[in-house]
Amino acid sequence: MTHTIGPGSTIGILGAGQLGRMLALVARRMGYGVAVFGGDRRSPCGQVADAVWAGNYDDTQQLTEFASACDVVTYEFENIPAHAAATIADLTPLHPNADLLAVAQNRLKEKTALRDCGLPTAEFRMVHTADELALARSDFGGDVILKANTDGYDGKGQWSISAATNLEELWTSSGLTEGLVEQRVPFEFELSVVAGRYASGECVYFEPFLNHHADHILDVTISGSNLVSPVAEQATQMARGVLERFHVVGVLCIELFLTSDGQLVVNEIAPRPHNSGHLTIEAYNCSQFELQLRTICGLEPVPLIRTAPAAAMANLLGQHLPATWDAAAMSGLTDTQLHLYGKSGAKTGRKMGHVTTLANTSADAEDRVRSVRSQLTAVR
């Protein structure tokens, strides 16, 4: 029988960014306390948490105090040292489990695990020198991507390589001692599936989202794009394979490429809510953050039902924000929600918030969300 962690309990969150903030807001609405580790009161999650531990992940005493104050712990990013996760897991339930965490924070382990699940990925190889990088480029057809094996996100720790790239200079400037080389996949679309699994084994899925990137950062996500049924079903089954392989309790996102010949190739997984799932806050009866809470706390499963025919989400990076906020900039907008993360110091490429719009068609939703963001940017 699944143990239920009910309202009045404390949810612990490792990481203090915007994903933790949105989970914390749901938790508070549903009657839970929130403790966060790794930030301070000025951090996006720290601003809305009940208790904050600003220690580092090497501080066993603070980790122990934090875990002891929580009834269940989850995380909002995967770059958490293994020893810190083990310290938490010894004291209180940690979801998703540390095994999945270890895989998601290491690209080689991730690609290998996906292959072990029978899921297709781009060809890949570890390299340790510029000469090994040159051999991989040659073997993979001259068009590859070099990635840091750990700690990479939002395009950081990634380098696009062509036949013309000077590999000696790139390898030296990268500062890497090892890296993972992937063969570039020619694709028509980038997709993501956000899914959840309860301790009972029941899995639920949001429909696949269509994603557009800019400079390696997610730019716009579209729901209600009416992907052909076989593709949507296959994407969902791929997510299910990962959920079941790692006995996940919690929320997970699987990112995919759809090739021109209709094949799905897995890019990577994220063992947590995902940027592409932010539109579920408005577009579904249960957001990805409420799903995260429900799964880790053993609450009653709920079906995931769209509340609008289509939706779109656009990230607001530092360069998109107005110099000063003017209420007129958002006036007259319907079916539109603005989310800001409480970050100070807007910088180019830094995620500061997002905008979600609802519409009758995916094309209208995308057009509207891009227009709204343009209106904000125009105030600069």
Nearest to 75 by CA among 126, 120, 115, 36: 36
Q: How many CA atoms lie within 13 A of 291 on its CB side?
A: 31
Closest CA to 170 of 160, 156, 155, 181: 160
DSSP letter for 89, please: H
Q: What is the pLDDT of residue 151?
A: 77
Strand partners, 33: 10
The per-residue pLDDT string of the chain (380 residues; one tens digit each, 9 = 90 and over) reads 468 999 999 999 999 999 999 999 999 999 999 999 998 999 999 999 999 999 789 999 999 999 999 999 999 998 899 899 999 999 999 999 999 999 999 999 999 999 999 999 999 999 999 999 999 999 999 999 999 998 766 667 889 999 999 999 999 999 999 999 999 998 988 999 999 999 999 999 999 999 999 988 999 999 987 777 889 999 999 999 999 999 999 999 999 999 988 899 999 999 999 999 999 999 999 999 999 999 999 999 999 999 999 999 999 999 998 876 665 556 556 789 999 999 988 899 999 999 999 999 999 999 999 999 988 876 66
What does the pLDDT read at residue 20? 98
Give the strand pairing for 187-197 and 250-259.
antiparallel
Residue 191: C-alpha distances to residues 240, 363, 367 (Å): 15, 16, 19
> DSSP characters for 290-345?
HHHHHHHHTPPP----BSSSEEEEEEEEGGGS-SS--GGGGTT--SEEEEE---SS
- Give CA–CA dist 296/61, Å, rounded: 24
pLDDT given at position 260: 86
CA distance 211 to 313: 10
Residue type, 138: S
Name the token pair of 318: 């530092």
Identify the pLDDT of residue 55. 77
Domains and CATH numbers, the chain: 10-94 (3.40.50.20), 123-183 (3.30.1490.20), 187-378 (3.30.470.20)
With beta carbons less than 8 A apart as the criterion, state whether 39 and 52 touch: yes
